[in-house]
Structure 1
Amino acid sequence: MSARDNAKKVDRQVTPEGGFFNFFKGLVVEFKRITWASKEDVKKATIAVIAFCCIYVVIVAVIDFGLNSLVKTILK
């Protein structure tokens, strides 16, 4: 048994004729398949990202201040 026999066969739904319009038809079909997150999930994820970014900014600022003070002390 070869690897090609095990490969999953994919049916092409879009034909090369009229490719420009078929592309957009396929795009509409794919957009209908999307499962969007709920508004509550999006809010929770947004809050988590903003909190992480704020924490990261504080950590980088503390490290920057510390290294800046260390370099000034050494070069004095």
Structure 2
Amino acid sequence: MADSAKKEKANKPSFFKGLKAEYKKIVWPDRNEVLKQSVAVVCISIVLGAIIAVLDFLMQYGVDFLTSL
């Protein structure tokens, strides 16, 4: 039982060493790439918002038309 506790404690430092090694492998995007991706996200959000607004307007018009019959 004591042996397993020692092995468990021995694994923790290697976990953090591995974590540090993996963290160093991360390739962060440069400023231009972040700008391009941000512009793409904003444009797509605006387009999808407009599509949802049009669909909402059409559905509301349809429901109003059906309830007025």
Summarize deviations over 1:10-56 as a string: whole Å, max 9, x none. xxxxxx66222211110110111111111110111011011101110
| Identical pairs, percent | 31
How many residue pairs are counted as aligned between the two chains?
61
2:64 counterpart SS class:
helix
Alignment root-mean-square deviation, CA: 1.4
Tell me the equivalent position of 1:61: 53
Distance across 2 between alignment mates of 1:27 and 1:73: 61
2:34 counterpart SS class:
helix
- TM-score using structure 1 length: 0.72
Partner AA of 2:42 in structure 1: I
- Ranges in structure 1 where 5+ consecutive residues have no aligned partner: 1-15
Q: Which has the higher helix share?
A: 2
- Ranges in structure 2 where 5+ consecutive residues have no aligned partner: 1-7
Superposition misfits of 4+ residues, deviation over 6 angstroms: none
Distance across 2 between alignment mates of 1:25 and 1:54: 44
- TM-score using structure 2 length: 0.79
Q: Which has the higher contact order (CA 8 A, sep 6+)?
A: 1
